[in-house]
Structure 1
């Protein structure tokens, strides 16, 4: 018996030792781990892509979208695969006139014509982008078109793992859309013409903190690109050296760069960035970037040559596991630690994404910034003046990844596979009819004084009214000030009959409610009974 126990104990010891070494190597990304990764890549290389997936299109013409200054027609196209799952859409770029290209999360490329978009066939699948070696193009960041002497050049930014060594870099490649597109065309992008400094993945990283937003500056013939810190900042993860990469001039991480379109040579124009998600350049050359903060502290920054925006030495947010931030100010007591402060900051985070300068769209908005959000699922219209600003949220209901003005329409693409086209309403009389949803011009104007009628976010004084018809009474989860009278009716649903009873006499319907008597006429109540079901 003893002669069997010794080999058994030896096997168990070797197994435990192997497991411990593997676990340590996997966590710390040691040379042993790198050797295993390299070996696996050699034995099992990535497959080349043979065909683009077949996508399906579904179009809907929704109710009008309201905002404080401008009502808009809203039209959507949803892109799904054979299983009915939405394809996340990552980026769009103008192709001249009312045309644009849109890039999906798996590299699928679409062509859109906005001004003639009366049916889903205004969007066509035109192939799939793959890496220069034919493998799948994933880890995509942005899409850019540049018009030079009447011809367009196309660029895509993405993450590139190193062939030798456990490293990664952000790169830009050119590609050429097909002259005669077919939905199954495989389009190999060119080898990178620009590559950031590579960084080791030995200590891990966050692919979502890459940046990668691009704009073109025709005055200098340069591409401006944002580069995130990939969480190598000493807060999200450890880093090599004594200076965190966003504060070191010796690395591209946490910087905004200018890249020569012709040579690919680059230079740093600003530093101290965490995850700059969006970038826009105005006709007069003003650069604006959006940036994700930690817990709170999303920023909109005016980007100026040579400026330091402070990360990770300062933030208007806090650590995820606390209520403070480990400040290291350049100037103690100064605003933003003496670093360049944002022009707008947000608490809590809406998850800022892309943005544009609104120019030539409509006089009501021209001159503003239009910022998209992921967590907030809204557009944020920012109006600035010398001493301040205001922000108007416009609820969309999906995580908005990119935005641009294509032809006469503002186009959004979302993580939920939607292409949303917004066109200003010219006939305001039509907008105030029962086919519209413009609270500034209807009986909903009075409701909007207390209630939110645009998005599912309650105010301090009243629950939101979106989807009120068919919703359980006193059920808005973000509102905690319901009266006992309304809570007692919580098992019932709001329908037109109960809503009319409530509006005619709030106290008779729910004694003790804070809702004042609106003193509505019969015609106003009839109008509300028509409009409330449209709040969806």
Structure 2
């Protein structure tokens, strides 16, 4: 599976992306297959001794052994409504996993009418065959009949609380601007599911207390940056994907402002890209790259120049994107894994310092990106 890569430099002018080939890639990556045979894998987490947890969107959670073998699907998962873009989605291990063996995951939860994004916590059994003591700690309100825009990335803050990204459910996009629902929001809850006491709207009438930020479309990447802050990356419509650094109580504009347009053309709403009181993205993409997954590289496996850089997958263009960051801004972009020609669904940094990616395919793979 060794491939020579042809990264491209992406220069941005007014948000319009254009590419010019570099003579040499900045780092020569070799993708190594860690495991294959996964059906549309969506999220991965490291559990020690070279093992991984990987979700499959149809509703399965598996252990990838150190030698690449896949376990049978773990027992003890809740019912998953695996329709459209929904299913079993993100997974992370708790910061104290070595002691408590707690796993946090999110999924599309069925209801009497429709579905919504939910987050649950459970203990991974000692023999790694099942989830125990399952607790649903958050359930998005309201449930709607939609197959689209579940969001569903989880980030654990330093205090142990959990951020969860929530999509606008597509046809309910205007819900992203109101506080009486969880559509198009980032929420923050404590490990027991209670709203975080520092959430900005806990004292506001008719506002749901879990809400941290609003005005999002469909966040499919989230991570803590080197600055310790939450960063997110979300799908725009036709263009207008965004990298944001969400801050408590702020409104990120969707669908009142956007750099995208309706599918097939035509402005969204008033066609505005800015408006007083609404936040601008740190970076946006026109045309859309359809980003998924987000990580900030902390180790030095790839050299000092890549430390602190952000990485995200491009589902649309089938590559990995490196974002060079300086002072909280993107100053350079590079396309990686272009010859792989795979939809990259997730990217994480492993305990060994290498980057790991998931390919979104009916025969999806876990790849480790090494330097040879």
Instruction: Give per-residue Cα distances to partners, 1:453-481, cap 9 Å, x unaligned.
Output: xxxxxxxxxxxxxxxxxxxxxxxxxxxxx
Aligned to 2:354: 409
2:33 is aligned to: 76
Count how many residue pairs are aligned between Structure 1 and Structure 2: 328
1:54-96 residue CA offsets vs partner (Å, 9 max, x unmatched): xxxxxxx42354653211222125533xxxxx62111101224
Contiguous gaps of at least 5 residues in structure 2:
8-24, 197-209
| 1:189 positional shift | 7.2
Quote the residue 2:105 is aligned against.
Answer: 156
In structure 1, the residue matched to 2:331 is 389
Rounded to whole Å, the distance in 2 between the matches of 1:418 and 1:366 is: 25
Instruction: Find out whether 1:179 has 2:103 as its counterpart.
Output: no
Shift of 1:349: 1.1
Counterpart pick for 2:181 among 242, 248, 251: 251
C-alpha distance in 2 between matches for 1:188 and 1:388: 42
> What residue number does 1:529 align with?
none
Indicate the residue corresponding to 2:142 in structure 1.
198
2:314 matched residue in structure 1: 373
Name which one, 1 or 2, has greater alpha-carbon Rg: 1
Question: Partners in 2 of 1:354 and 1:149 — Cα distance?
Answer: 22
CA distance in structure 2 between the partners assigned to 1:65 and 1:97 by the alignment:
30
Are 1:288 and 2:234 an aligned pair? no
- Name which structure has the greater RCO, CA cutoff 8 Å, separation 6+: 2
CA 1:125–1:287 in 2, change beyond 3 Å: closer, same or farther?
A: same
Q: How do 1:260-339 and structure 2 match up within 5 A?
A: 260-265=190-195, 267-327=210-270, 336-338=274-276, 339=278
Distance in 2, matches of 1:223 and 1:169, equals 18
Quote how far apart the aligned CAs of 1:127 are.
Answer: 2.9
More helix by share: 1
Kept in 2: contact 1:405–1:411 (CA 8 A): yes
Residue 145 (structure 1) aligned to one of 93, 97, 118: 93
What SS does structure 2 have at the residue aligned with 1:246?
Answer: helix
1:343 to 1:62, Cα distance in 2 relative to 1, 3 A: same
With over 3 angstroms needed to count, the CA separation of the structure-2 counterparts of 1:389 and 1:127, relative to structure 1, is same
Moved segments of 4+, more than 6 Å: none
Structure 1: gaps of 5 or more residues: 1-60, 81-85, 115-120, 235-243, 330-334, 426-536
Normalised to the residue count of structure 2, the TM-score between the two structures is 0.80
Partner of 2:166: 227
User: Is 2:304 aligned against 1:352?
Assistant: no
When normalised by structure 1's length, the TM-score is 0.57
| Residue from 156, 168, 171 that aligns with 2:115 | 168
